[in-house]
Structure formats: C-alpha cells, structure tokens
C-alpha cells in the first residue's frame, strides 16, 4: 500500500463517504479523483478498509431496524412463523450476500491487482456509463408498487446477483442493487434501504479481510494515522449520505445520478483521449 498523507486521507474519506451510498461508485471515484489531483492511488486494500467507516455509519443509522430484524427473526424461528416480515427480510439479506462472497473470493487476486483490466481507467468509464443507462432503464420499467415489507427470498437472491456487478469498479454496489430492486418494482426509498442493509455483510467481510492483510504488512505503522483519519471521515460523511439519499428518493427519481454517471464516464474517456 502506498504512503498516504493525512490530508489525502481526509480527501479519500470524504470521497468514500459521499460515493459509497450514492449510486455513483465509490471505487471509481477513489481511483479517478486521486489521478486528477496527482494523489497516490490508495489501492484496493486501503479503499476496502476505509469502507469499514461506511459500514459503521450504516450500522448506526439502521441499528433500530437491525435490532428489530434480529429479535423478530428469532421469534419467528421459535414460533415457526415462516411468513414473518423480519425473517423473510433477514433471509433475503443472508442469501443475497452469498453470490458476491463466492464470486469475490474466486476473483480476489484479479480484482485487487493494480494491473488487472478490471481496474483499468477505461473499464471504470465504460462501467459508469453502462450502469447509468441500466439505472435509467430500471426507472422506466419499474412500477414502484412494492415496499420492503413485501420482499421475499427470490428478491434477495436476484438483488444479490446484481450486487456482484459492484466487483467491477465503476458499477457501484448501491447503484447495481438499487437498479435491480427498481426492476423488481420496489419503491425507490425502500430500494435504497434494502440496498444498504444488503451491503452490510459483504462490505464488512471484505473490509475485515483487507484489514487482516494490512495488519500483516511490515510497513503498516507508516499508514496508521491515515487509516484512522480516513475511517472516521468516511463514517461521518457516509451517515450524512445515507440520510440524504433515503429522504431524496422519497420525492425524486434517480435521474440526476443517471446524468452524473454518464457525464463522469464520458469525461474519463475524454481525459484518456487527451493524455
């Protein structure tokens, strides 16, 4: 992992916090923005660890929901009430996490290598545009007549496969899961809520694995302060982003993010062509 200054850590924490939950791809911005400002590429390991700040934010924000799901699921199991909302949603999150865990572990080396074509700048640009158009399609086709309380195991698994697209920088984990949820006719705000809950296990496991790898590095002490700063800033900004997006999607569509993604991708291609 390259040496990262405290100022760069603050910037990276802000970028991570702003882009993790907005459907515009945090990994893409953590890759591209440092390039624009001649900052060190934080790499997949640092990016994954400061994502733990985003996990902390979503855990705090949704703590009442998580507590309700845990207690409700245990009661449902004890009473054998398989139609319980809490049990159905918990099962959707668990089974929806399995696809990205399997595929992510299988492709771990390819995904983390700085020379991987999946981390290439052109790939990020293409993925940003493609997912922008995919989100637009979901906006047009989705009926938005279902609530999170109506979700079942099938919804969780399908959205979980959509989450696998986030392994490609530029696709966006929240963007891909919200897109699939919209195609499943789920209301926008509920689609975002389910996206955030579904992302907790995958992002937490990924971040902890990378943290374990980084702890084993001999030069870890050189980046301790930058890791802590990036983590804290990411957590604070992520919390604000979650609150903003859920409130925003209650009254607005995702079109502004579609437009941003397409402009972002085209701008990257333009910069590549003018190198």
Q: What is the DSSP string of 145-160?
A: -B-GGG--HHHHHHHH
Nearest residue to 41 (alpha-carbon basis) of 124, 163, 165: 124
Yes or no: say if 159 and 142 are a contact pair by the CB < 8 Å rule.
no
* E-assigned strand segments in 166-212: none
Yes or no: say if 168 and 123 are a contact pair by the CB < 8 Å rule.
yes
> For the segment 230-272, what is each residue's pLDDT rounded down to a tens digit?
999 999 999 999 999 999 999 999 999 999 999 999 999 998 8
> For the segment 156-187, what is each residue's pLDDT rounded down to a tens digit?
999 999 999 999 989 999 999 999 999 999 99
> For the segment 183-195, what is each residue's pLDDT rounded down to a tens digit?
999 999 999 999 9
- Measured CA to CA, the distance from residue 62 to residue 66 in angstroms comes to 6
Q: Is pLDDT larger for residue 38 or for residue 133?
A: 133
Q: Where are the domains of the chain?
A: 6-273
Contacts of 38 (CB under 8 A, 6+ apart): none
> For the segment 75-103, what is each residue's pLDDT rounded down to a tens digit?
999 999 988 999 999 999 999 999 999 99
DSSP three-state, residue 186: strand
- Measured CA to CA, the distance from residue 42 to residue 229 in angstroms comes to 14
The mean pLDDT of 134-143, rounded to a whole number, is 96
Burial class of residue 157 in the structure, from the number of CB atoms within 10 Å of its CB (0-12 exposed, 13-18 middle, 19+ buried):
middle
N- to C-terminal Cα distance for the chain?
26
pTM given for the model: 0.92
């Amino acid at each position: 992992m390259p040496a990262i200054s405290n100022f760069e850590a603050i910037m990276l924490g802000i970028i991570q916090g702003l882009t993790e939950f907005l459907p515009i791809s945090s990994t893409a911005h953590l890759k591209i923005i440092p390039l624009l400002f001649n900052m060190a590429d934080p790499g997949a390991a640092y990016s994954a660890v400061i994502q733990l700040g985003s996990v902390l934010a979503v855990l705090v924000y949704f703590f009442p929901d998580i507590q309700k799901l845990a207690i409700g699921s245990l009661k449902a199991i004890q009473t054998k009430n398989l139609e319980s909302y809490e049990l159905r949603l918990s099962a959707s999150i668990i089974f929806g996490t399995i696809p990205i865990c399997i595929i992510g572990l299988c492709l771990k080396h390819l995904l983390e290598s700085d020379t991987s074509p999946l981390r290439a700048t052109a790939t990020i640009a293409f993925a940003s545009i493609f997912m922008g158009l995919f989100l637009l399609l979901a906006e047009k086709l989705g009926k938005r007549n279902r609530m999170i309380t109506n979700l079942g195991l099938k919804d969780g698994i399908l959205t979980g496969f959509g989450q696998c697209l986030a392994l490609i920088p530029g696709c966006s984990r929240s963007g891909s899961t919200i897109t699939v949820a919209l195609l499943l006719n789920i209301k926008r705000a509920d689609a975002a809520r389910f996206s955030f809950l579904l992302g907790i296990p995958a992002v937490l496991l990924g971040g902890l694995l990378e943290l374990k790898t980084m702890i084993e590095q001999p030069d870890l002490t050189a980046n301790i302060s930058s890791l802590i700063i990036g983590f804290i800033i990411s957590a604070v900004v992520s919390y604000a982003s979650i609150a903003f997006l859920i409130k925003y999607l209650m009254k607005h569509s995702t079109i502004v993010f579609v437009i941003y993604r397409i402009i972002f991708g085209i701008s990257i291609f333009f910069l590549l062509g003018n190198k």
